[in-house]
Amino acid sequence: MVGPIYIIAIALGLAFAMGLFGKALKGITGALLMLGLAAMTFISGQWLWAFLTDSVTTTQIFTAGFKPPYSINLQMGMEEAILTFIINVAGLLGATYMYQTFSKKGEQLKMIFLVFIMSMNVTVMTRDMFNLFVFLEIESIALAGLVLMSNTGKAFQAGMKYLIATGIISGLLLLGIIFAYSFTGTLNIDDMIGAHLGTIKASSVAVFLILVAFILELKPFPANGWGLDVYTAAHPGIGALVSATVASAGVYVLYKVMPIAGQEWYYYVSLIGALTFVGSNLMGTRQNTPNRLLGYSSIGQVGLLMIILGLQDYLGDKTAFIAFGILISHYAAKAGLFWISGILKANDIKDWAALRKNPFLLFLFGTFLFALIGFPPFPSFFAKWELIMTLSTQGQLVWIAVILVGSFIEGIYLFRWLGYALKLDHSELPSLNITWNKMIPIWVMGMSLYVLGVYVTPMVEFGRYINYIPLLFILVMFALDFLPVYIKNTLSIGGVVWYMIDLWPRIEDDLMRQIFAVIFLGGAVITLAAGYSKKGTRKGFYPMALLMFAGLVGIIEASSMIDFFFSWELMTAGSYFLIIRGKRSMPHAYSYILFSIAGAYAILMGFGLAYGSNLDAGLTALGNISFLPTLAYSLLAVGFMTKTASLGLHIWLPGAHGEAESDVSPMVSAILLKAGVFGLMLLFLFIGTDNPNATKLLYVLGWVGALTTLVGNMSAAFQEDAKRLLAYSSIAQLGYVLFGLAIMTHMGWMASFTYTINHFMFKSILFLVIGGIVVKLGTHNMFEMGGMIKKMPFSFIAVLISIIVIGGIPPLSGFAGKWLFYNAIIEKGWYFQGAIIFFAGIIAFLYLYKLIHSVFLGQLKDNHRNMTEISWWILGPVYVLIIGIMIFSAFPQYVLQPIGEMLNPYFNTEIVSWEGTKAFTKLGYWDGTTIMIVVGTAFVLLLGWLISLSRKAQKVKQFNIVYAAERPFRPETTHVSYNIYAGYKKALGFLVAPGITNFWNTVSDMVLDIAGWLRRIYSGSIQNYTLHVIVFIVVFYLITIGGL
Amino acid sequence: MEYIIISIGFALVLLGLYGIMYMRNLMRIIIAFTLFNTGINIVMVSIGYIRNASAPILDAIPAAGTTPNIVDPVPQALVLTAIVIGLGVTALMLTYVVKLHQDKKSLDINNFKDLKW
Amino acid sequence: MVKKFLILLLVAGMGLIIFDLYQAYDSKENLSTLGEYYAQNGAEEVGAANLVTAVVVTYRGLDTLGEVSILFLTAAILSFALSFRKEDEIEEKELRPTSEILSIASQVLTPIIMLVGIYIFINGHLTPGGGFQGGAVIASAILLMLMAKPKLEISHKIIGFVESISGLSFIIIGALGIVLAGGFLDNRIMSLGTFGTLLSAGAIPLIYIFVGLKVGAELSNIVGSMSHNQNEK
Amino acid sequence: MDYSLTKFLWTLLGLFIVTNWGLLMSSTMRRIGARVAGRYGIPWYQPWIDLAKLYSLRSQITHGTMFYIGPVFRLMGGVGMFLFMPMIFGSALWSNYSFSGDLILILYFQFFGMLGMALGAGEGGQPYSAIGISRGLSQFTTIEVPMTLAVISLAIQYQTFSISDIVAAQQGGFMNWTVMTNPFATIAAMLSLLGAFGHSPFNLVKAPNEIPIGPPTEYHGTFLGVLRTNGAILHVAEAALFMNLFFGGATSWFELIIKTFLIYFWSVFVGTVFPRFRIEQSVVWFLKWPTILGIIAIIIYL
């Protein structure tokens, strides 16, 4: 194998040779540069390969023929191999990316670049303290040179700040090194580690200086203004390398020298890391310049890595996996993002909307952002998972909270950015001019994230159970994205059906999972079928829809917590992309994803506590949480409730569902919300009926559920937007489900199941039909509709049946839910919550009537006179569901009886017993079939009676009656169904004052204000940045050694 | 003696830091920076000082097991490297100052606040 | 005012750290382990009378390579950075003629200074001095020339040639160490010779010659670039 | 479960009795109201004349299918309530089809008719209808609050939702009636009944002089006849429900007639004394005293 020393030799030799032959070889210096970088990559690559195949062990490379400490030695181990490899790869790709720039600007730049990459290799490999210092200096000088490449005033300023700051830092490092030498008599890092400098009072100052210097090299908050400026002003190609490689090398160097200080100091590294992670991300929330934003994010990620390094005692042998998982994701993502930024040349993240002109770039952009946040299947996901799990086995809850809060704040700006790119208008922006050499590096980074993600999956406990087959299918759908809708739709439905057939035997004995499988996959088929009504290619829709469904199915199938969480995140990602497809969806999808991430983190922490209690990642671990069980249950419940949009966590839903595309709304409403229900059911089953740790929690959740129904229904009643009305209705319906589950009795669960099944069916119907109508009429406002019953009779019947179900009116299946609730409430004794639930149930009539009246009844509007029925591709699936409702209403026992039997073992409370078609409880009885027969018979008889009495009725035209309160123009001024419940609003409207929305707005304003206020420290003055560095040093000193 | 030298070194370090923080003219900042560097170099050399020892240049190969009475050569070697590095950094800073001056015709740092927040 | 106070406060804070360092410092009677090893074995192993040179060139040869790289980098960056300017901005400045003393003295002194510089780096393994010192002296001769004749254009070709050749040779000698001796930059690829003579200490004189040439060329380059830039408005 | 023809015929007979009793009761009440106001009032047979006239009107118009079916839904609501309620305690034949479901079924079946009426009237396109409906729905939501609380209180008291069982528990003298054993629930429910019957002060749904007759504005002829019929049935059925729940039920038609009359009279009595509320007033009113009483009715069982 080629020794790593040749990395240095090749790089320097080539650099010197370029100076010698530069003029003569002008044409091929570019090729030489690439060749040199390729050779360096090859050398580290072959070492990496050897380590991965276990054919070598950690090797020391001695120089000058003497053993350390007398001479300088390099070390090549697994970690060094990985780092040098990624550094050289980034160098190679970076040079490819900047090929034109380099050839324009002359030989010197190429030499500088080579030395730059080489110096980072040495900082990683060297085991000599002073040598480390020398090559760090080379690195910063080379970087300062590369910054000059931009040749702008800003770049000069940034470089100057950088030079002064690093000059001070390295001066102090030098002081530290020389004193460390004077105490230990060696410069070798390993010998210094052996000397335990950090524990001796006198030498601890030296340790302090070394440590603080290496920490400062990583640009800790707030002493990092100079670093940010470099990110902002440097050529994006250089920014990519600073973020990807300099940061990686710097983190590794810190990791290398930390043992010199000893474990007493680790805590402080974590502390600084936490400050940096949270602080930097916080300020990122106010940033609109892409490169600077990336800078904030980079520094934040490095902060996270510092936390991990500082916590390595807790993380034990998982440290490497976690750190590398985060590091590599950060590395690939940041490099890719900077490169994309270089292509776009935008000064505002809003201009990234231009990305849509190149779908590949958009895809890669999304990939990088999701990798940064830590979504599956990227390595950072697994790393974060292991991080949280391991920390919780050590009881480090505060650290978990800090890490998750920081990650969440990062999500705030990353998803705002993604939203801009996906939705903002880009017609004014120039089209992109992309050469292949700029595209290839970005592709390589993007693809490597996927490959690495899959590669590391089995390294995590239970990771091997993660099923990548659906994801492969989705990849194929991506590849086929150019095909027309009807082909892709057929393929998608085929895939879903095939998966259903494949899945069924695996869940044969598990009714609960079967029910949800039918809701998820059956729902998928039905809602996808409605997609036949769309024309064109519908770019990007199918992969994302399938991603969501894959996630949903994964949740059902999950046997371990990681499996579950993996699928949960996939589902979140898929649904985010679905939701944001709507025309005005950007802000709503944004709040959706933020709530989802926060919820996911709550779940993650809950899982962590479960894992910490059992050291078992199986899902069953949830059943036995001994470590802070109440907290764990609460976190999990809150996490799932972000998906069910319970009160307080619901504000994302109306907009997200209301503005989504017509067939996406039913997907995200009727189907997606059930994921939260499934999660809650799993959780509550694991909690068990008489768990003393959850009694209070369940009681609170009961109230939350009840109030959710009240607020949801009342808000729906005051809506003018048809789809938002339905969205609020979903909130309320899920409130019922939550309430029933929180009751934790047989009867309550039966009610919840009934509601779940009903909501799936009627909300699919309503969203499909109303969505179709909204598209057809071109307005969401109900007061602009009317009289559609004449134009769309089949839609009317579908909606009529649905609202009978929602209202709980016998004989349809909604009544079953109400009846079960009455029984459950009396049995449980939650009378007042129950009263609220029923009150809310009656309020439902307000919005139901508003919906059907304003859309279908009343007066036909002038501009709708030529409307026809909505597409049969929509009505077809709708009528399938209506048949389902009818069957469920007439023969509820076929569904509810097995559910009851399934629930029996879990609850020792009163049960619903069945006698043929009749259901009994201790309190009452109900016979769905008989009611259907009686009502049906009586109805037919009465209708017959009326018909027999009627003469030949004469049809009246619309204009035969007065228009006392409706005008076709500016209808909202006089339209009877505009603000139809004005009086009611006057009386009870205060109940739905947007208090919760205001609350969240205030919170977000506060966060942004804090960020805006904090970032004023970055005044742009060189002096201030120097001050920050010195303040950082002095304060750190006073805290650590000064004992402050 | 060595205490005085090291004190001078430290004093230069502090003086340099003060200058870097206080000065507004870029050239002066660079001068302060070289003071800072020089101070560190002096400290480094004095660390290697051994009382009553001579320079680390030998007249003959010492006999096995005996140690010639010389000062520590290591800090001297290090200082050599440090000086060169300091030179490189200073030269680079000067280049930057040239570029900055070309850009804004000014050396006052308050004129270079284009990048912030 | 507040700022001034804050700066003083910070300097005081740094003073606290430095005071801690000062307290930790003890004047020494004995060499450190590393220094002791070099004192005992350096002369024998490396063959250089000047132990500092032994440490710089051989034991810590990688550092020296780094130093050379830094100078190389700096020179490259300077010529790169100072070269790109818009053509119309370049405008020759009218310069005062240099004094007669300076111009005549420079003609006399330049060769002598150069010679001294060469002496210093050739004898780097025997006497105080070495490649860097020698190179710096050579560059000072160039500086003197420039001061005497501000319009003097230094031939970048020659300087670049010297610089690159010597750098490349350094690398090759270093790499030969892996093949012929114990490792990268091992000086024992040539015989160690008689201790204390000019042709001793293995490859050290050779390396120092190249280092000296390289440093001299690079510093001259830096000085030249700066001066060239100075001449323009 | 008895689906025999005998049962069917007996139920039809019951329906006939109830309809006629309802009509008679309404004319009686109107007379009482007139007398209080110093007028003479209609003859007791007036409702039959009205019905005959309405059913035989020659011409009729329709605004569409839902308009046509609306009255059927409405009538189905009233008839259904009757069908699912045991009328005479202890009689299998007069218990109608109450084996299909319990009290909850009846409570929710009320909505069936309301919804149909609202939809039918909605298709008529008459703004008065829509205004009437929106008021009706608004008011109805809060009427149900005390009612729900009372029903919950009853369920706690009797541990059953079965109406027959509730009646059975009240047998053996009026001291066993719910009105004596659970007065708070009874008062709460009786107050909510005022709203359910829709007499003044809660008659703004139909609001004479303001929006002619509310939801049925566009209905006339046979349709109106059907609605009137339903009104008669519904009043008796609702009164019978209250009778069963709070006043010991009835063991004979005679007892039923007396009790339903008195229950109905209660709302007429209040109606002639109090003027009409605005919608926001009535909505809030039901959430005040009746609700508080309902809460007390539950608290005493906690």
Chains A–B, number of C-beta pairs less than 8 Å apart: 113
CB contacts, 8 Å: B75 with chain A:
178, 181
Residue A173 pLDDT > 90: yes
End-to-end C-alpha distance for chain B, whole angstroms:
49
C14: contact with B, CB 8 A cutoff: yes
A835/D294 CB distance under 8 A:
yes
Chain C segment 165-194 residues within 8 A of B by beta carbon are none
Q: Complex ipTM above 0.95? A: no
User: Average pLDDT of chain C?
Assistant: 81
Sign of CA dihedral B87, B89, B91, B97: negative
Cα distance between residue D98 and residue D85, in whole Å: 5
Distance CA A858, CA A865 (A): 14
Q: Is B60 inside a domain boundary?
A: no
Between D45 and D204, the more confident residue is D45
Domain annotation covers residue C215 = yes
C88, part of any domain: no
Query: What is the distance in angstroms between the Cα of D36 and the nearest Cα belonging to chain A?
Result: 31
Instruction: Kindly state whether residue C128 falls inside one of the protein's structural domains.
Output: yes
pLDDT single digits (tens) C68-97: 889 888 888 888 887 765 445 555 666 677
- Give dist(CA A565, CA A552) in Å, integer: 11
Chain A residue numbers touching B40 (CB-CB < 8 A): 171, 174-175
| Range list of H helices, A424-461 | 436-456
Spatial separation of the C-alpha atoms in residues C148 and A209, rounded to whole Å: 46
Cβ within 8 Å, pair A953-D118: no
Given a cut of 80, whether residue A561 has pLDDT beyond it is yes
Residue A79 has pLDDT above 80, yes or no: yes
Evaluate whether residue C91 is within a structural domain: no
Among D101, D155, D294, select the one facing A926 at the smallest CB separation: D101
- The answer as to whether B32 is a domain residue is yes
Alpha carbon separation from D44 to A805, D31, D240, D259 (Å, rounded): 42, 8, 22, 20
C127 in a domain, yes or no? yes
Average pLDDT, stretch D179-192? 92
Q: Please tell me the predicted confidence (pLDDT) of residue D202.
A: 86
C partners (3+ CB pairs within 8 A) are: A, B
Query: In this complex, do A1019 and B116 lie within 8 Å of one another by their Cβ atoms?
Result: yes
- Whether C37 maps to a domain, the answer reads no
Return the pLDDT at A968.
55
User: What residues make up the domain containing B80?
Assistant: 2-52+72-111
Residue of C18, C39, C56 with shortest CB distance to B70: C39
**pLDDT recorded at residue A739:** 95
- What crossing angle do the helices spanning A541-557 and A673-687 adopt, rounded to 10°? 10
CA–CA separation, A271 and A279 (whole Å): 12
Quote the number of domains for chain C.
Answer: 1
Tell me, yes or no, whether chains C and A touch by having 3 or more C-beta pairs under 8 A. yes
| Residue A95 · residue A33 · CB < 8 Å | yes
pLDDT for A978 beyond 90: no
- How confident is the model at residue A959, as a pLDDT? 67
Q: How close, in Å, is residue A62 to chain C by CA atoms? A: 6
Instruction: Provide the terminal-to-terminal Cα distance of chain D, rounded to the nearest Å.
Output: 36
Model confidence at A963, pLDDT cuts 50, 70, 90, reads low
Q: What does the pLDDT read at residue A553?
A: 92
**List of chain C residues whose C-beta atoms are within 8 Å of the C-beta of residue A184:** 32
Note down the domain range covering C50.
45-78+100-228
Rounded distance between C-alpha atoms, residue B88 and residue B85, angstroms: 5
CB burial of residue B64 (10 Å; 0-12, 13-18, 19+): exposed
pLDDT digits (tens, 9 = 90+) for A220-229: 988 888 889 9
Residue with tokens 């159970």: A465
Instruction: Among A164, A175, A1023, select the one facing B40 at the smallest CB separation.
Output: A175
In a domain, residue B116? The reply is no
Structure tokens at C143: 């500086």
Which of A54-58, A977-981, D137-141 comes out lowest in average pLDDT?
A977-981
Summarize the confidence of residues A147-175 as an average pLDDT.
90
One DSSP character per residue, C40-76 reads IIIHHHH--SBHHHIIIIIITHHHHHHHHHHHHHHHH
The least confident of A154-163, A243-252, A272-281, D193-202 is D193-202
- As a whole number of angstroms, the distance between CA A671 and CA A592 comes to 16
Decide: helix, strand or coil at residue A2: coil
- pLDDT at residue A966, as a whole number: 56
Vertex C14, ends C10 and C17: CA angle to 5°?
Answer: 145
Closest Cα partner for A879 from A973, A963, A768?
A768
Are B22 and A1024 spatial neighbours (Cβ–Cβ below 8 Å)?
no
Predicted local distance difference test score (pLDDT) of residue A35? 92
Nearest C-alpha neighbor of D114 from the set D88, D137, D95, D90: D137
* pLDDT bucket at D273, cuts 50 / 70 / 90: confident
CA distance readout (Å), D274 to A806, D146, D201, D208: 36, 20, 6, 15
- Residue C219, classified by CB atoms within 10 Å of its CB into exposed (0-12), middle (13-18) or buried (19+), is buried
> Is C214 contained in some domain?
yes
Cα D162–chain centre separation: 19
Domain tally for chain B? 1
In a domain, B59, yes or no: no
How near does any CA of chain A get to the CA of B112, in Å? 6
d(CA A306, CA A298): 12
- CATH code, domain with B93: 1.10.287.3510
Q: Is residue B107 part of a domain?
A: yes
Q: Please, what sign has the CA dihedral across residues B64, B67, B72, B73?
A: negative
Q: Is residue C56 part of a domain?
A: yes
**Is B61 among the domain residues?**
no
pLDDT of D214? 77
Q: Kindly identify which residue of chain C lies nearest to residue B59, measuring between CA atoms.
A: C49
Q: Tell me, what's the pLDDT at C230?
A: 67
Counting DSSP H helices and E strands in chain A, the numbers are: 45, 6
> What is the phi/psi pair of residue A67, to 5°?
-80, 150
- CB pair distance less than 8 Å for A807 and D105: no
Mean pLDDT of D285-298: 92
pLDDT at A36: 92
Q: Which residues contact A443 (CB under 8 A, 6 or more apart)?
A: A360, A364
Average pLDDT over residues A132-141: 93
Give the CA distances from residue A881 to residues A527, A761, A797, D194, in Å, rounded to whole numbers and listed in that order. 11, 6, 13, 40
Q: In angstroms, what separates the C-alpha of B34 from chain C's closest C-alpha?
A: 16
Count of C-beta atoms within a 10 Å radius of residue A539: 12
* Nearest CB neighbour to A144, from listed B40, B74, B92: B92
Task: Tell me which of B24-38, C34-48, C83-97 is least confident.
Answer: C83-97
Q: Is cis: bond before A222, omega within 30 of 0?
A: yes
